[in-house]
Structure 1
Amino acid sequence: MEGTLGSDLREWFFNVFLCCLLRSETFCAISSCMEALLTYRGKRITQEDVTFIRGLIAQNPGDSRWRLSQKLCQAWNWRQANGALREMVCRGLMLALERAGYIELPVKRKNPLNPLVQREKPVPVLIDPDPIEGPLSSILPLEIRQVRRTVLEKLCNGLIEQYHYLGYCQPVGEHLKYLVFAGQRPVGCMIYSSAPRHIGCRDRFIGWPVHVRRQNIHLMAYQSRFLILPWVRVPHLASHLLGRMAKELSTDWQRLYQHPVYFQETFVDLEWFKGTCYKAANWLYLGKTTGRGKNDHTYKPNRSIKAVWGYPLCRDFRKRLCEVRSEEESEKRQPCEPGGAFGTA
């Protein structure tokens, strides 16, 4: 009886103490410091972070926004997977904080030109247009070269501009470019870039919630251009190349950007194509786009509806794409085993 009474008394004192603590100014101050004022690209910004940024700006009154973003990245050790500072993301964060009224940035010293607006179109390419015809075996072995940041990148851009029905468009974010050679002659091109941030049918197929998608979207690749040159008429060539790329893409991505990709996707314009080569290469039909685009505010289709096709690059792609990790751990992803999740065509 006495033991029970003593236990009840201790519990009563604890509840009184906890109630007083929750009402205290000290506890409220600690809670307000820990509460996120803003979340940007998955990074939670607290009042303590804002105070630090204000101090950084005050201590460096002559620094530009670019220089301040460098110092902030260094102070936070905020880096990409390849070790480079996250300068552009950091500048976006600082701008968001200024617009929200938390900080005041120095006046812009100049308005930089938009490189996508100012960029010149690829120059025309002089190339042998003699027909290449026959069975696939007649042009094997084929060489697939990753030409991003090489002397052959301009050739790839020029061929896409001249012979792809959409022409060339500078990829956004991380991207790789490929040329396919039969002997010394190019027969095709492929461009892969960062995946679109939200595709309804794809996101339902993967099954990831919004906050996980935002953290892991960089672990997907988007095939934005696929070209077989018009004088190349070789049955099964396209599906053969798609099968080859399923084995090579993630390794190449890891080599250039220090992280793998676990899934690839593409759009097929149904007004032009049926997606036959993707089906032959064991890609999965995921559904259709809404035809609205990422910046639409009308909720009405304003462009052609496209079929969405996808191909997993490892068997446990869902587990890897849906895995939630800390910011530091997310940069150290496990590489894919070559070969993709399914058999290749």
Structure 2
Amino acid sequence: MGRTKLSVTLCEMWGWRGQNNSLKDMSCRDMLRALDKAGRITLPEPKSVSRKVGTTMKIKHLAHDETLITGSLKDLRTLHVEIVSSKDKLVEFKSYIDQFHYLGFGRHIGEHMGYMVYSRDGLALSCLLFGSAAWACRERDIYIGWGKEQRKHRLNCLTNNTRFLVLPFVRIPHLASHILSLITRRISADWEKKYGHPVYLLETFCEISRFRGTCYRAANWMRVGSTTGRGRDGGHHNAILPVKDIYLYPLVDNYRSKLCE
């Protein structure tokens, strides 16, 4: 059985479909490739490959104007938020994140949404990427009140802020929390327009050795606990990943009932 047939079969077995009832084949293939790379499963050899297996995704690095931007928030408002959709905008978006975010751009699996934020004069200020929520997170799941079956069926109604970058040459007090507030007001509608369903809750994970989560707390995100650092392969005792604080932001008042339907 080839990779495509395998992913289609799994989608049919799991009932993994989008809001338009089409099989989420590409998302499933991305997941299978990630599991194969991590050594959790062994996939059949691909019949064709777009690039050599094992190579790192190449991100085009553009030359950016890094002139220092200082002052106050009122000097930049009203900010312009743009969804990353065009090819040119995606190249710019990837370049900023890969050059200036400590994790680089990486890859996203499944549903995702990218935003770029500009000043009223068109100066690039920030990039945000939202993607698939963590499959399992004990503190989060307890806070929501999720069982395994509820989580399985409603996980797509939650999204993870996997990257948040205020460009390093932008030094504006309170800018980060203001940007988060702008995004939280619109992301559910943007998600529904793109994928046919809303999201009810946002999550993010802040590495505690690097960040204090100040901008998230200032934007009224709730800290609900910390990760163990064990990941999926760390067993019961050994921490193999950085410990991270878990922050959540409800987009609707009845998010628990929506997520537990």
* TM-score, reference length from structure 2: 0.84
Q: Please tell me whether residue 120 in structure 1 is matched to residue 57 in structure 2.
A: yes
Distance 1:72 1:271 in 2: 39
Distance 1:90 1:161 in 2: 25
Residue 159 of structure 2 corresponds to: 221
> In structure 2, the residue corresponding to 1:308 is in which secondary structure?
strand
Distance 1:199 1:68 in 2: 27
Distance 1:193 1:88, change over 3 A: closer
Residue 311 of structure 1 corresponds to: 249
Q: Please tell me whether residue 190 in structure 1 is matched to residue 125 in structure 2.
A: no
Give the partner amino acid of 1:170.
R
User: Which residue, 85, 88, 94 being the options, matches 1:151?
Assistant: 88
Residue 250 of structure 1 corresponds to: 188
Give the partner amino acid of 1:159.
Y
Identity %: 36
Residue 82 of structure 1 corresponds to: 20
- CA offset digits 1:65-104 (Å, max 9, x no partner): 7469769989xx9742134334468889xxxxxxxxxxxx
Give the partner amino acid of 2:88.
V
Give the partner amino acid of 1:304.
P
Q: Please tell me whether residue 301 in structure 1 is matched to residue 247 in structure 2.
A: no
Q: Please tell me whether residue 264 in structure 1 is matched to residue 213 in structure 2.
A: no
Distance 2:10 2:213 in 1: 47
User: Which residue, 149, 170, 178 being the options, matches 1:232?
Assistant: 170
Distance 1:195 1:229, change over 3 A: same
User: Where does the alignment leave 5 or more consecutive residues of structure 2 unmatched?
Assistant: 31-43
Structure 1 residue 295 displacement after superposition: 3.6
Distance 1:114 1:296, change over 3 A: farther
Residue 281 of structure 1 corresponds to: 219
> In structure 2, the residue corresponding to 1:301 is in which secondary structure?
coil
Structure 1 residue 187 displacement after superposition: 0.7
> Would you tell me which structure has more helix in proportion to its own residues?
1
Specify which structure has the bigger relative contact order, considering alpha-carbon pairs within 8 angstroms and separated by 6 or more residues. Answer: 2
Structure 1 residue 123 displacement after superposition: 1.4
Q: Please tell me whether residue 161 in structure 1 is matched to residue 98 in structure 2.
A: yes
- CA offset digits 1:175-203 (Å, max 9, x no partner): 11111111222111000001001111101
Structure 1 residue 286 displacement after superposition: 0.7
Residue 45 of structure 1 corresponds to: none
Distance 1:320 1:238, change over 3 A: same
Distance 2:247 2:124 in 1: 26
Structure 1 residue 297 displacement after superposition: 3.7
> In structure 1, the residue corresponding to 2:88 is in which secondary structure?
coil
Distance 2:24 2:166 in 1: 37
* TM-score, reference length from structure 1: 0.64
Distance 2:226 2:9 in 1: 44
Alpha-carbon RMSD across the aligned residues, in angstroms, is 2.9
Q: Please tell me whether residue 320 in structure 1 is matched to residue 258 in structure 2.
A: yes
